Structure 1
Amino acid sequence: MSSPSKLPRIAYLTGQYPEVSLTFILREVEALRDLGAEVLTCSIRRTPPEQHPGPAEKEAAATTFHVLEVARNPARLLAAQAYLITRPGRYFATLMLALRSGAPGIKARAYQLIFFIEATILARHLEAEKVTHLHNHFVFGSATVAMLTSELTGIPYSFTLHGPADLFEPTRWRLDAKTARAKFVSTISHFARSQLMFFSDPAHWDKIRIIHCGVTPALYETAAGPALPPRSPDEIRLLFVGRLAPVKGLRVLLAALTELSDLPNLRLVLVGDGPDRARLEAAAAPLGDRVTFTGYLSQTEVAQALQACDIFVLPSFAEGVPVVLMEALASEKPVIATQVAGVGELVEEGQSGFLVPPGDAETLADRIRTLVGDPELRAAMGQHGRAKVVTDFDIRIEAARLATLFAGAAGEDIRPAPHARDGDR
């Protein structure tokens, strides 16, 4: 590990926090705090109670600063403007930055003004809390707010680029400007880094680093609990965990399961919820009790569900480097995933699982059949996958790498050495 140096007082910002699908951010915050960092969490909007299934999410919801709640209070909104207008040069320069860094059109300009107002609220909060670094996850509206807040206050900012959605509209979200103004940019994979290099000036490539999302491997060593229904001795259980949305390719998985009708003991459990649930339930109805929908589960329950499955399947049309695949591999489960974006940087074909073409139900069914019929292969893949996660995707190590960036001690390494706390040398 690198020599310890002082960490700044950090604020984390996202559009919505905490959220079931963003547990990796919660883990990152917790790991940074374990390193001794002071981390305040901020969210543009408050998430509903169903997004807080476990105690960690409930505590995060209770302690997070919510920008829009303050902005909707006229007195506090005016107080923020009165506070910041005392530095008119920064105030109006930031307003002009907001107006010129948006997409063309009246609607886009209106959104930029909203982002500016949100930035004034956040700026006053961060200065009151003596924050010295602002970090944002994703590149959408909250990243614009982070950039404008940095301009208002002089507090340096950074952001994490995930993908694939981060890369859908690079011009609209001005990846070039955000990268140019950021102290550094964290990307979750070589693939994501290469895409940001494509959309940014080469003069700023040296600030684009790779910090993996990660998991705590020890959480996935426990025995199965009551998260899923009891299983028969000869059942082979497939598991999917994620948002029930079209991008996850679940209709392809249901089609593959239909092709495997000659395997009567094969069952599929879908953990999660989302806008496509009702349509997926209708599509799964002909499969009867071979498909179970559980809704959202807490982090602990997801870990229990992983222990109670045999094969993990993620048939998505688009992904970054999915944390849920790390969780499955940490649970020593073989995985079948689609060959998209950075997935191949985690799943090693034929070693920890299989990579299949997106949208290809026939190949997906074939790989499921292979694993169903070979328990020894399943065990070997599970062991290989866990070793990969322990080495390259442990959240404690990845947070320590990120801390090195926060401390300004990363040098030129694309993958910074982990930050060491005082007394750890």
Structure 2
Amino acid sequence: MRVGYVVHTYPALSHAFIGREVAGLRRAGVEVRTLSIHRADDEHVLSREDREEAAATESVLPASPFRLTAAHLRAVSHPVAYFKTLRFALGRAPAGVPARLRQLFYFGEAVYVWAWARRHRVEHLHAHLANVATDDVWLASVFDRFTDRPGHWGWSFTMHGPTEFFAVERFNLAAKVAAADRVVCISDFCRSQLMLLCPPSSWDKLTVVRCGADLDRYRFRPPRPSSSRMAVLCVGRLVQRKGQAILLEALASLRGRVDATVTLAGSGPAEDSLRQLAERLGVADSVTFAGPVGQDELPSLLARHDVFCLPSFAEGVPVVLMEAMAVGLPVVSTQIAGVPELVTDGSTGLLVSPGRADALAGALAALAADDALVQKLAAAGRLVVEQRFDSAQCAAQLAGEFDRRPRAPSTPGSAEQDLLHDL
């Protein structure tokens, strides 16, 4: 099977799991072509694998005038489909000139996606995240199904959250689910949130395929022998929703009880405020800002720490938690969204209420004081990743989902007909 992957930015440092998924699908025998709506900047291309993927990935933006013109010239050979799809795109726009202009840009990108997919003889289009990539794939598929040529592709997207669930109308989630042939959800929680938005008639197209960790790269090692100082690692974008400020408050409250250091790996708009907070709390000498870390460096960074902590306010199911568990680090995270589907409190890790620095400090203190608990969580954490979050198994499951996708009809299906009834 030949599958086209369309992503907002690919490869991307914060979405390294997409690259692993693509690699896993290729190992499973799926021919995957990749298209990035926005070309990846150098900050996203840190590892050898990322450089190879970036070189092999075509991008829509910045636009090549020649390719963009060629795509639209090819598309206007189907004039009825072209103008019906343009009308559909504009009809989906919220009120206001800026929104309509944005839809016009999406239409322009979608025609490029359509021409790219036709050029590579794609049999199925798949988008990651319910953002502009999914908008473009949807419009490209609408256009394709309005043409009179045989062999229309099916299309799907992977729903992650949490961002889209904060603005369901802006992301038009219910309509995207109605139009797609299949929707891949990364967790049962994610699927339940889409079920809340969609009628029961759409529920059977919602399927759970989890993201996974590369178990060959992230090999288990027994936890380091306890020492007088506990090294805590947190990896993630430095943004408010990741909760790094709560970790710094917890670190301050541990002073005098536990000798601990914190490494914050990542970059983002909250870095300056986090540095200032560390100074105000009097823990700046115990906090290291390590900057962005590529996949080549992450295993060795994990190996230099004793505990992994991710105190987020909102998440999907963090792959970096899986990777920490895979190498044998005990993990502390928050009891939110899909995280409990990965971490069972007291069994495969420790979970605390979000926003509670006191509870987070208590969990870290418990690990510092109990080697037996550390050993237990490390072994159980690795086991659950092997059983349920192995990236190779997850990719094979996803390949099966693509294989059993409903064959796309020659014209828009019933769900799309509802959306297009006035065209």
Same fold (TM over 0.5): yes
**1:288 Cα shift?**
3.2
**Aligned pair count?**
396
What is the CA deviation profile of residues 61-105 of structure 1, one whole-angstrom value per residue up to 9, with x for unaligned ones? 111110123xx3334323222211111222122112212223332
**1:124 Cα shift?**
0.9
* Aligned Cα root-mean-square deviation (Å): 1.9
Q: Which residue of structure 2 lines up, in the alignment, with residue 195 of structure 1?
A: 193
- Residue 285 of structure 2: which of 283, 289, 294 is its match? 289
Correspondence 1:285-364 to 2 at 5 A:
285=279, 286-364=282-360
Correspondence 1:399-410 to 2 at 5 A:
399-408=395-404
Write the distance in 2 (CA, Å) between the matches of 1:102 and 1:351.
48
- Residue 27 of structure 2: which of 19, 23, 34 is its match? 34
1:106 aligns with 2:97: yes
Query: Which deviates more from structure 2 when the two are superposed, residues 200-209 or residues 380-389?
Result: 200-209
SS at match of 1:359: coil
Q: Which residue of structure 2 lines up, in the alignment, with residue 76 of structure 1?
A: 67
SS at match of 1:158: strand
1:237 aligns with 2:231: yes
Write the distance in 2 (CA, Å) between the matches of 1:393 and 1:146.
28
Partner amino acid, structure 2, of 1:138 = L
- Residue 163 of structure 1: which of 137, 161, 164 is its match? 161
Correspondence 1:42-53 to 2 at 5 A:
42-53=35-46
Q: Which residue of structure 1 lines up, in the alignment, with residue 127 of structure 2?
A: 136
**Does structure 2 conserve the Cα–Cα contact (< 8 Å) formed by 1:220 and 1:307?**
no
Q: Which residue of structure 2 lines up, in the alignment, with residue 5 of structure 1?
A: none
1:175 aligns with 2:176: no
**Does structure 1 conserve the Cα–Cα contact (< 8 Å) formed by 2:8 and 2:133?**
yes
TM-score (norm 2): 0.90
1:256 aligns with 2:247: no
What is the CA deviation profile of residues 157-195 of structure 1, one whole-angstrom value per residue up to 9, with x for unaligned ones? 100000101212112222122112211100001110011
Unaligned stretches of 5+ in structure 2?
145-151, 407-423
Partner amino acid, structure 2, of 1:237 = A
Partner amino acid, structure 2, of 1:171 = E
1:387 aligns with 2:383: yes
SS at match of 1:234: coil
**1:342 Cα shift?**
0.7
Write the distance in 1 (CA, Å) between the matches of 2:188 and 2:361.
30
SS at match of 2:33: strand
**Does structure 1 conserve the Cα–Cα contact (< 8 Å) formed by 2:107 and 2:136?**
yes
Unaligned stretches of 5+ in structure 1?
1-7, 225-230, 411-425
Partner amino acid, structure 2, of 1:152 = F
**Does structure 2 conserve the Cα–Cα contact (< 8 Å) formed by 1:223 and 1:304?**
no
1:398 aligns with 2:394: yes
**1:408 Cα shift?**
1.2
Q: Which residue of structure 1 lines up, in the alignment, with residue 409 of structure 2?
A: none
Query: Which deviates more from structure 2 when the two are superposed, residues 178-187 or residues 277-286?
Result: 277-286
Q: Which residue of structure 2 lines up, in the alignment, with residue 273 of structure 1?
A: 267
Write the distance in 2 (CA, Å) between the matches of 1:103 and 1:175.
14
SS at match of 1:94: helix
1:62 aligns with 2:60: no
Partner amino acid, structure 1, of 2:374 = R
Q: Which residue of structure 2 lines up, in the alignment, with residue 204 of structure 1?
A: 202
SS at match of 2:43: helix
TM-score (norm 1): 0.90
**1:223 Cα shift?**
6.8
Partner amino acid, structure 1, of 2:358 = E
**1:232 Cα shift?**
11
SS at match of 1:237: strand
**1:257 Cα shift?**
0.4
Query: Which deviates more from structure 2 when the two are superposed, residues 185-194 or residues 101-110?
Result: 101-110
SS at match of 2:61: helix
**Does structure 2 conserve the Cα–Cα contact (< 8 Å) formed by 1:331 and 1:386?**
yes
What is the CA deviation profile of residues 109-128 of structure 1, one whole-angstrom value per residue up to 9, with x for unaligned ones? 21111100001111111111
Write the distance in 2 (CA, Å) between the matches of 1:75 and 1:336.
51
Partner amino acid, structure 1, of 2:21 = E
SS at match of 2:169: coil
Write the distance in 2 (CA, Å) between the matches of 1:220 and 1:373.
26
